[in-house]
Chain A
Amino acid sequence: MKALCWHGKNDVRYESVPDPRIEDPKDAIINVSSCAICGSDLHLYDHFIPTMESGDVLGHEFMGEVMEVGSEVKHLKVGDRVVIPFTIACGECEQCRRGNFSVCERSNRNRALGDKMFGHGTAGLFGYSHLTGGYAGGQAEYVRVPFADSTHVKVPDNLTDEQVLFLGDIFPTGWQAVVQCDVQPTDTVAIWGAGPVGQFCVRSAVLLGARQVIVIDNVPERLSMAQAGGAIAINFENESVLERLKELTQGMGPEKCIDAVGLEAHQSGTLDAVYDRIKQATMLETDRPHVLREMIYVCRPAGVLSVPGVYGGLIDKLPIGALMNKGLTVRSGQTHTQRWMKDLLRRIEEGQIDPSFVITHSVGLDQGPGMYQTFRDKQDGCVKVVLKP
């Protein structure tokens, strides 16, 4: 089959790889009808996530039709149309039973590696390094889905791929980012990053009733898309984020702050941005935490910081004093996708939201390598890329 494979920093190739096969009775094989490039795939593309190996199949946002099921799969049959969450979950361990699917204790087959890196391993993920199991990803014609009974949501035929594809990652990720802020009708929610996850944070905050939603970015078309969804836009190239946020909150700061940027924060003209660039280039720091610093500084005391943006390693100069003394609550983590998929599917069916608004580019899988670069460099108005195998 054909797939997009990682071959090193900035080197993604469209090439032939062996077809997947059932390896465990709980597996299913999916014939992929649509997949997407996620913002967090760019961290792999730029090689900020360790333990990638040449030839790894990328992609963790995909859907399709069930082609084959293992002997112990009970809830899926050949022909079912499914969206696959990016987090592989066994559905049986203690964490899964608590609803903490992204830290499933059984799905990461390289758990020992995660134990060494993070103290405790996390769930297996599709196409996202050997730290998370080394599973082949979904930017391919076919995918093996382990623990298939608890790693899917069935979708009806009357909804298009474009309407439901993002149930596998960015929609639940934006949703959870806002849910873990416990939004109140009096709240201002400030969201750093108007990329695809940031866009879904905006819509989720509106649907969940936030009084005011603010988004911070420097890409005009992304800001206009966020404004269309109900956000007030701050372009950090043109105005001071701190001053504007103070002005919009009568000096008190936003109660809820969301980092939808992660480890590759772009910021021009600030001392800490230059500092982070140098430290990252000289391998003295793996991640650039400008957004975290800004959130801690600007958040209203006793507020909540929600971090759906991906971080991979170590950061420097985090203002822990401000974090502690202001009594801020920090909530983060990979998304417990399975926890939200069915509810969000219902909301799509009821017409509360049509997630396809975010798609700006739709191309064949063979054009995927070039789209990685277009997406990374934010060229051609690119916000979200859908690939068709």
Chain B
Amino acid sequence: MRYRITAPHGQRSLSGADRLARGLGWLSLGLGAYKTLAPHALTRALGLEGQESWVRLSGARELLGGIMTLTDDPTPGLWTRVVGDSADLVLLGSAWSDPHNRKRDTAGKALAALAALTAVDVYCAQAVNRQHAYQAGPTPDYSLRSGFPRPVEEMRGVAGDFETPRDMRHAFPTPPKIAVRELPDRAARAI
């Protein structure tokens, strides 16, 4: 018969990209919890005092992205992380470029780290998207795979010798077979 012989993977189903996505998901949850629960500590460290609401919002987004990344389809969660990373980069960029910010150095290091993490997020999102693309590949033609030796209409009811076991019979009466079969329209069927 015409089976496809493919050898797309190694001896483990979880690829490096899958494992990376999982790690990013947990990281997102950790960061999200930290930002949500202790925004003051973060704003103090980065010289972003007064931006606690934004940090909390960013934390909530991290939590959402983390949960989404840990589901069986991590791609949307990873792209959510990328979008969130971009917003965080803007915020950190403003802290780094502010000449009056006494924590510019820390903000600069955080900016560099986040930029690197964003690159990892983008790489991972693309890799996972490629690997898990739903219904990827060709659409084969299975229109001749009936499984029957003869045309379908000739096979209808061929197992008529089978008697439904008593415990599986319909709970409600069914109309007399012959009478209903001979009545074609809706009104007749409703009798």
Do A and B come together as binding partners?
Answer: yes
**Which residues of A come within 8 Å of B, CB atoms?**
7-15, 45-46, 98-99, 162, 179-182, 184-186, 199, 203-204, 206-210, 219-222, 224-225, 227-230, 250-252, 277, 280-282, 302, 304, 327, 329, 331, 343, 347, 351-363, 366-367, 369-374, 376-381, 383, 386
Contact in complex: A380, B6 (CB < 8 Å) = yes
Residues of B within 8 A of A46 (CB): 72
Interface string of B4-20 (1 = CB under 8 A from A): 11111111111000100
Find the B residue at minimum CB distance from A48.
B72
The answer to whether A250 touches B1, judged by C-beta atoms less than 8 angstroms apart, is no
Query: Beyond A46-B72, A182-B169, A367-B9, is A359–B1 a contact (Cβ under 8 Å)?
Result: yes
Interface of B with A (CB < 8 Å)? 1, 3-14, 18, 67-68, 70-72, 131-149, 152-153, 155-160, 162, 164-165, 167-172, 174-175, 177, 180-181, 185-186, 189-190
Indicate whether A11 sits within 8 Å of B177 (C-beta atoms), given known contacts A182-B169, A329-B172, A359-B1: no
Is the pair B9, A361 in contact by a Cβ cutoff of 8 Å? no
User: Do residues B138 and A357 form an inter-chain contact, with CB atoms below 8 A?
Assistant: no
Name the distance in Å between A107's Cβ and chain B's nearest Cβ. 21
Give 9 nearest A-B pairs by CB, closest first: A370-B9, A209-B157, A357-B147, A230-B152, A381-B140, A225-B142, A369-B13, A207-B159, A380-B137
Beyond A15-B11, A356-B1, A370-B13, 10 additional pairs, beta carbon < 8 A: A11-B12, A184-B174, A185-B157, A186-B175, A208-B160, A225-B143, A327-B172, A357-B146, A361-B5, A381-B142
Q: In the complex, what's the smallest C-beta–C-beta distance from B49 to chain A, in angstroms? A: 33
Task: Select A228's contact among B11, B144, B149, B172, beta carbons within 8 Å.
Answer: B144
Q: Which of B5, B12, B189 has the most CB of A within 10 A?
A: B12
User: Would you call A386 and B3 a contact (CB within 8 A)?
Assistant: yes
Whether A207 contacts B9 by the Cβ 8 Å rule is no
B67 touches A281 (CB 8 A): yes
Instruction: Return the chain A residue nearest B164 by Cβ.
Output: A182
Return B175 CB to nearest CB of chain A, in Å. 7
Residues of A within 8 Å of B156, CB to CB, are 206-207, 209-210, 230
Contact B9 A369 (CB under 8 A): yes
Do B186 and A10 touch (CB < 8 A)?
Answer: no
Q: Are A224 and B141 in touch, CB under 8 angstroms?
A: yes
**Contact A10/B133 with A206-B155, A207-B158, A281-B71 known, Cβ cut-off 8 Å:** no
B53 to chain A, nearest CB (A): 24
Nearest chain A CB to B71 CB, angstrom units: 5
User: By the criterion CB–CB under 8 Å, are B13 and A372 in contact?
Assistant: yes
B157 contacts A370, C-beta separation under 8 Å? no
CB-defined contacts of A98 to chain B, threshold 8 Å: 167
